[in-house]
Amino acid sequence: MVSRIFIFVFLISSAVKAQVVTTNDSVRLLQKRVLSVDLLSIGASMPIRDFGDREKSTTSGFALPGIKFDAGFNIQLYKHLGIKSTLMWQNNQIDENKYKQDLKSENAVNSYSISSGGWNNFSIFIGAFTNFNVGSSYHIQPYILGGFNLGFSPKVNVTVSDSLEMISTISQKRGHATNFCYGAGIDFKADLANDLQFVVGINGFYCELKFNGIRVENTYKNSVYEFTAYQAVQTLGFKVGITKTLH
């Protein structure tokens, strides 16, 4: 954990240093800091790699495309450099059909019905962004972020009917885990009236989570047990939103 934080701080300091060695105009502190508030952005959370894989049953999260919201602050200190903070929530439901196929492959005689929740992740980030003006009304802002994520694994309820039409249930409860997380992306902003900006953006998110003590209750076997699960959460996000500039 400590090594990851040092790596992130090194990346931030490198970005700042890159700005310092450009031109005097680029590194001169603005006479008045520009504070903007990302009021609310909504978009898609697209699972990538193992998080959304349908084949690797031991490492896959079976996650489906979901939804994300984020909000935050931007403080522009230099002409091309500033500080960015973000709060983000994303939800990705799981592929219930894939779960059902795996169960039927183990016992094709039984019939199954499944209801489930999704993967939920709440993240807080801080990092740096660069700003490039295109004309007087358009802005391109790449950024890198680091922070902490609170993740919740999906709850899964399975109803099983065997060949004798005996009904049993298997209930997997939610688990939670925290860890350091990373984000990077780019925002495209267009000035509107009343100090508002329209924003479209794309970003990547990564966090490795270890869920301890996920509880499973099985009425067929009359048993209760707990297990540990590891899941890498990897998403590609797209968003649209509104930013308010404060003077």
CATH number of the domain at 54, please: 2.40.160.20
CA dist 173 and 210 (Å) reads 15
Q: Is residue 212 part of a domain?
A: no
Expressed as residue numbers, the domain containing 24 is 2-91+117-154+174-206+229-246
Q: Is the pLDDT of residue 226 over 60?
A: yes
User: Tens of pLDDT along 119-151?
Assistant: 999 999 999 999 999 988 999 999 999 999 999
Give the C-alpha separation, 90 to 206, whole Å: 12
In a domain, 235, yes or no: yes
User: Distance between CA atoms of 154 and 103, rounded to whole angstroms?
Assistant: 17
DSSP codes joined into one string, 170-195? EEE---EEEEEEEEEEEEEEEE-STT
Torsion of CA 92, 98, 103, 104, to 10 degrees: 160
In this prediction the pTM is 0.82
* Terminal-residue alpha carbon distance, the chain: 38
Q: How many domains does the chain have?
A: 1
What was the pLDDT predicted at 19? 44
What are the pLDDT digits (tens) for 150-206? 999 999 998 888 777 778 888 999 999 999 999 999 999 999 999 999 999 999 999
Residue 102 domain flag:
no
- Whether residue 221 is contained in a domain is answered as no
Is the confidence at residue 55, as pLDDT, over 90? no
**83-92, 106-115, 153-162 — most confident range:** 83-92
Residue 36 forms part of a structural domain: yes
CA 69, chain centre distance (Å): 9
114, 158 Cβ separation under 8 angstroms: yes
User: Residue 218: phi, psi to the nearest 5?
Assistant: -120, 110
